[in-house]
Amino acid sequence: MKMKLLITDTISKRELVPLKKYFTIDIRLGLSKGKLANVISNYEGIITRGVTALPASIITNGKKLRVIGRVGLGVDTIDVQEASRRGIAVLNAPKSIAKSRASQALQLLRRVVKTKGKNSLKGRVLGIVGFGDVGKHVAYRAYKRLGMKVRVCEPYGEVPSFVTKVTYEELLQESDIVSMHVPFTYLTRSMVNHATLSLCKKGAYLLNCSRARVVEEDAVLKGIKEGILKAFGAIVYGGDQMSPRLKRHPSTVFFPHQIQKNTSPVRSQLTEVVAGIVQYLQGDVPENLVNPQVFRKKARGSYKLGFDAIIFDCDSTLSSIEGIVELARLVGKEKEVADLTRKVMEGILPFESVFEKRLEMIAPHRDHLDVVGRRYIDMLVEDAKGMIAALMHLGKSVYVVSGGYTQALLTLGSFLGIPSGNIYGNDLLFDDVGNYAGSIGGPLRRNWGKLQIIRRIPGRKLMVGDSITDLETKECVDLFVGYGGVARIAKVEQESLLYLYCQSLSPIVVIAAGVEGCLKLLPTRFRRYVGKGLDLLSHPKHVKTHTSLTKHLAEYKEVAYY
């Protein structure tokens, strides 16, 4: 029996054809909020163009809902958190709309800077905050067509060779023009404020191509008055509120968001949403899935070992310390911070609820992060350095994805030989003398954030970690290995197909390399990690192994008798 899909806004019927295999489609335009709340319980899916809002009260009534499609980019009219709590997938169309959004952003740039002639922007530095599909198009056109130098603040993804990847702090200090392209979430609210604007180059231009609340209006007005900003421009979306003071200021420019009609761009957006829904229903993770934590991969009878990308948590996994606790020790706040950290690791408290709280308690100095980086190295767990060297010898890609702080993680990564582009953490802001000035919104400061990063990593993926935020990635990797060599978390132990009780990470060499890779390591200096890993994997005192992995571990007999 087919599911039922509700269409509430005007869209092209032709692009809906692939969904007819799964759904009976009802088109009901102009439903009031009350009427929609009454009928939503009959449907497994709904597609809107943003005219129809889906607050928690309506989503709660959708007892059968499995998917919500948003034809467009912004999902602020949908309560994504409520959908996620109920296991409902939310999909949008980021790629299809990117070119038109980028075009408008560059029009705004020219108007704000008051360019004269084709080469008037050549050589100027454009700083782009948020390197999604829109940011990528803006960067390419600014570099290729306008001859600009491009800086990008994108801690969580790869960047092309023609741009320079920098921290948010460096971007503000180096850019002539700063352009915001981040989605609006509680993490990016007030991302531009008094503290961050004080870091800007004097006489800079600021463009807000995100939603209004990403930028604090009072900070902008003060920045213009004090000469930090020469001018400010923004794209105004429906529902955004701008104060009359800002609107009337002679150094500000505002463009209304261009709402597209039911033409080719809108059809391509619908096609992207439909393709994502089909992919999701077929058991794959679509790129345009806004809340990947709702995805559940199909159960497998067995698991093939040998992986392309090996991803590690840092704290209590690669290193036996918790970086935030080390920071707290430096300022005499160890006990309070350690208690909060333990509760986050066990899933008692959500990560986002304590992220900023701990930093405010500690107020770390920039130099403190270098101390933590060195402590990471001093307190590496058993066989960590040799294990990573063995994996790199085989050509494996090694990553660190951590809720810790980038500066300290880069120190550790450099020691271990992990490329800086493969290290993902949280960036902090400091003033001119190194005092803590705030943090930057991003996925790694909340639950399910690691999943957002890891799903972009290519190849067959193995994740190794100790805490609940690591376990949350399980559905988007090929195998999750729990690590209890430093801290043992009951839920992680219970839900991991493979769980290490031992301190040594040598079993990861065996699991990640596969039989063929292990045979390649035997004639090398890494032979000891293969032997030790096999020994530990064979003993229930050191490793808990699910039956689905037992068959594959038996294949290593060839290696054991080599």
- Report the DSSP beta bridge partners of residue 253: 233
Q: Which amino acid is at 554?
A: A
Segment 249-273 shows an average pLDDT of 79
Give ranges for CATH 3.40.50.720 in the chain.
Answer: 3-94+264-293, 96-256
**Can you tell me whether residue 559 is helix, strand or coil?**
helix
- The answer to whether residues 414 and 402 touch, using CB atoms and an 8 Å cutoff, is no
pLDDT above 50 (res 469): yes
The pTM of this model reads 0.83
Residue 457: HSE in the Cβ half-sphere, 13 Å Cα cutoff:
30
Give the pLDDT band of residue 111 (cuts 50, 70, 90): very high
With tokens 């594959």, the residue in question is 552
CATH number of 309-321+365-560, picked from 2.10.109.10, 3.20.20.70, 3.30.750.80, 3.40.50.1000: 3.40.50.1000
Residue 85, pLDDT score = 93
Give ranges for CATH 3.40.50.1000 in the chain.
Answer: 309-321+365-560
pLDDT above 60 (res 136): yes
Residue 207: HSE in the Cβ half-sphere, 13 Å Cα cutoff:
27
pLDDT digit string (tens) for 369-417?
A: 999 999 999 999 999 999 999 999 999 999 999 999 999 999 999 999 9
pLDDT above 50 (res 262): no
Burial label, 286 (beta-carbon count in 10 A; 0-12, 13-18, 19+): buried
Closest among 94, 109, 129, 91 to 210, alpha carbons compared? 129
pLDDT above 90 (res 238): no
Residue 260, pLDDT score = 53
Chain CA centroid to CA 426, Å:
11
pLDDT above 80 (res 299): no
Give the pLDDT band of residue 301 (cuts 50, 70, 90): low
CATH number of 96-256, picked from 3.40.120.10, 3.10.20.740, 3.40.50.720, 3.40.190.10: 3.40.50.720
Residue 167, pLDDT score = 87
pLDDT digit string (tens) for 171-202?
A: 999 999 999 998 887 778 889 999 899 999 99
Work out the number of other CB atoms within 10 angstroms of the CB of residue 25. 17
pLDDT digit string (tens) for 478-490?
A: 999 999 999 999 9
Which CATH number applies to 3-94+264-293? 3.40.50.720
Segment 256-274 shows an average pLDDT of 75
Provide the token pair at 112. Answer: 């704000």
Chain CA centroid to CA 235, Å:
24
